[in-house]
């Protein structure tokens, strides 16, 4: 009897270890894929800031850039599969809870569900682009305007779009504040880093997170404005949001600063892929 119980216990532990390894691999692949996209978007935005607007400074522009490279198709498939891994990781967090003392709370699990749905959508668009169907080729600006127009047509559409925009603004503020406070450190294996590496990670985490949060705030603000005016064309995707920084009194230099921040966030995602606790 004891032998049977011991055997079952051993198999259960082995299964949990295997599931944990799969989830960890999926998370690290997903974080790496996210890093590639942010890095490329940041580089494209830098080009826009200095007068080269050949590609959209958003996900579709990043995919087009990859497609133009040697073995671009292979890289696109790898990127899409990595993003599937991100969705799998977030799904596991929704089902089993995430790392940390409060990882099993309902709020954390709900956010994991939202992130899972988001990354399923992103992964699908990347894989569709890789397969040649063009599903990932529409710019973020077109997608944002179309989605806003459809939402405004439903009952209480203005309130719906306004609430969504306000939610994006709040999310941006939270992202920026957490970055400045270096809250990400709670989920990283700091003991495995040298002091120099830790400082470099802080530069990418703080600078990248603050820039990403700012972009969210501005994009959410445009959505709120579209809701108030009931004009979907006022909503902006990532490309138009980034280009709007060049229209401020600071001009292209502000766009260049934000773009550099997105590059930093891409590098920070690589650091997370290496040292984040999953």
Burial status of residue 15 (CB atoms within 10 A of its CB: 0-12, 13-18, 19 or more): exposed
Q: What is the pLDDT of residue 18?
A: 42
pLDDT, greater one: 169 or 103: 169
Of the chain, the percentage scoring pLDDT greater than 70 comes to 89
Top mean pLDDT of 98-112, 120-134, 186-200 is at 186-200
Least confident of 54-58, 137-141, 199-203: 137-141
Mean pLDDT throughout 171-179? 96
Q: What is the pLDDT of residue 56?
A: 81
- Contact between 193 and 131 under an 8 Å Cβ cutoff? The reply is no
User: Distance between CA atoms of 73 and 58, rounded to whole angstroms?
Assistant: 19
- Token readout for 43 is 């580089």
pLDDT, greater one: 72 or 8: 72
- Using CA atoms, how far residue 176 sits from 62, 159, 184, 190, 223, in Å, is 24, 26, 11, 21, 19
Least confident of 29-43, 195-209, 214-228, 238-252: 238-252
User: Distance between CA atoms of 162 and 164, rounded to whole angstroms?
Assistant: 5
In this predicted model, what pLDDT tens digit does every residue of 98-111 receive, in sequence order?
766 676 788 888 88
- Token readout for 129 is 């682009």
- Contact between 27 and 87 under an 8 Å Cβ cutoff? The reply is no
End-to-end Cα separation, the chain, in angstroms: 36
In this predicted model, what pLDDT tens digit does every residue of 207-229 receive, in sequence order?
999 999 999 999 999 999 999 99
Q: What's this model's pTM, rounded to 2 decimal places?
A: 0.86
User: Distance between CA atoms of 111 and 173, rounded to whole angstroms?
Assistant: 16
- Token readout for 216 is 């969210």
Q: Is the pLDDT assigned to residue 171 strictly greater than 70?
A: yes
Least confident of 26-40, 69-83, 123-137, 194-208: 123-137
Q: What is the pLDDT of residue 6?
A: 52
User: Distance between CA atoms of 124 and 120, rounded to whole angstroms?
Assistant: 6
Q: What is the pLDDT of residue 14?
A: 42
Q: What is the pLDDT of residue 138?
A: 65
Q: What is the pLDDT of residue 197?
A: 95
What value does the mean pLDDT of the chain take? 87
Q: What is the pLDDT of residue 195?
A: 93
pLDDT, greater one: 231 or 21: 231
Q: What is the pLDDT of residue 11?
A: 47
Please count the other Cβ atoms lying within 10 Å of the Cβ belonging to residue 196: 8
- Token readout for 29 is 């692949």
Q: Is the pLDDT assigned to residue 9 strictly greater than 80?
A: no
Helix (H, G, I), strand (E, B) or coil at 64: helix
Mean pLDDT throughout 163-186? 95
């Amino acid at each position: 009897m004891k032998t049977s119980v011991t055997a079952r216990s051993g198999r259960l532990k082995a299964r949990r270890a295997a599931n944990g390894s799969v989830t960890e691999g999926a998370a690290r692949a997903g974080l790496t894929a996210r890093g590639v996209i942010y890095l490329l978007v940041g580089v494209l935005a830098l080009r826009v800031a200095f007068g080269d607007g050949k590609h959209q400074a958003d996900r579709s522009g990043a995919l087009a850039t990859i497609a133009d490279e040697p073995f671009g198709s292979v890289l696109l498939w790898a990127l899409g599969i990595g993003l599937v891994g991100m969705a799998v990781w977030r799904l596991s967090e929704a089902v089993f809870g995430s790392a940390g003392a409060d990882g099993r709370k309902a709020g954390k699990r709900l956010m994991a569900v939202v992130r899972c749905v988001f990354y399923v959508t992103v992964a699908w668009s990347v894989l569709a682009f890789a397969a040649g169907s063009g599903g990932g080729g529409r710019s973020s600006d077109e997608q944002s305007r179309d989605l806003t127009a459809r939402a405004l047509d439903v009952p209480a559409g203005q309130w719906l779009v306004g609430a969504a925009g306000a939610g994006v603004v709040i999310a941006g503020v939270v992202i920026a504040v957490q970055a400045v406070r270096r809250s990400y450190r709670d989920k990283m294996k700091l003991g495995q880093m040298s002091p120099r590496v830790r400082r470099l990670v802080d530069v990418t985490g703080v600078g990248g997170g603050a820039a990403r949060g700012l972009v969210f705030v501005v994009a959410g603000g445009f959505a709120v404005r579209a809701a108030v005016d009931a004009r979907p064309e006022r909503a902006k995707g990532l490309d138009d949001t980034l280009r709007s920084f060049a229209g401020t009194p600071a001009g292209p230099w502000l766009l260049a600063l934000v773009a550099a921040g997105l590059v930093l966030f891409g590098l920070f995602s690589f650091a997370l892929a290496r040292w984040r606790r999953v």
